[in-house]
Amino acid sequence: MPDPAAPSPSSGGRDDAGSVDDTVAAAIADRLADAYHTGRPVAPIRDELAAGGIPAAYRVQELTVERWEREGRRVVGRKIGLTSRAVQQQLGVDQPDFGALTADMCLTSGESIPTAAILQPKVEAEVALVLASDLDQPDSTVAELIAAIDFVVPAIEVVGSRIADWDIGILGTIADNASSGMFVLGTRPVAPGEVDLAEVRMELRVDGTVASTGTGAACLGHPYIAALWLARRSYEVGRPLRAGDVVLTGSLGPLVPLEPGAEVDMSITGLGSVRTARDH
Angle (nearest 5°) at CA 225 between 219 and 228: 130
CATH annotation of 75-278: 3.90.850.10
* 3-class secondary-structure state, position 140: coil
How many angstroms separate the CA atoms of 132 and 121, rounded?
Answer: 31
CB-facing half-sphere around the CA of 234: CA atoms within 13 A = 25
Strands 263-268 and 75-81: unpaired
Whether residue 82 is predicted with pLDDT greater than 90 in this model: the reply is: no
Q: Tell me which DSSP letter residue 164 carries.
A: G
Residues 23-34 as b or e (16 or more Cβ within 10 Å = b): ebbeebbebbbe
Task: Evaluate whether 173 touches 93 at the Cβ level (below 8 Å).
Answer: yes
Average pLDDT estimate for 216-223: 93
Task: Evaluate whether 241 touches 134 at the Cβ level (below 8 Å).
Answer: yes
The dihedral over CA atoms of 232, 234, 237, 238, expressed in degrees to the nearest 10, equals -110
Whether residue 21 is predicted with pLDDT greater than 90 in this model: the reply is: no
**Residues facing residue 159 across a β-bridge:** 122
Closest by CA position to 219, among listed 80, 79, 83 = 83
116-173 confidence digits (pLDDT tens): 999 999 999 999 999 999 999 999 999 999 999 999 999 999 999 999 999 998 999 9
94-105 confidence digits (pLDDT tens): 678 999 999 999
Average pLDDT estimate for 244-262: 96
Whether residue 4 is predicted with pLDDT greater than 70 in this model: the reply is: no
Whether residue 6 is predicted with pLDDT greater than 70 in this model: the reply is: no
Query: Worst-scoring range by mean pLDDT, 58-62, 78-82, 199-203?
Result: 78-82
What's the pLDDT at 19?
Answer: 62
Burial of residue 134 (number of CB atoms within 10 Å: 0-12, 13-18, 19+): middle
Burial of residue 74 (number of CB atoms within 10 Å: 0-12, 13-18, 19+): exposed
What's the pLDDT at 12?
Answer: 38
pTM: 0.90
Of residues 133 and 12, more confidently modeled: 133
Strand ranges (E), the chain: 75-81, 97-102, 106-108, 112-113, 122-131, 149-159, 182-185, 201-206, 209-215, 246-251, 256-257, 263-268, 272-278
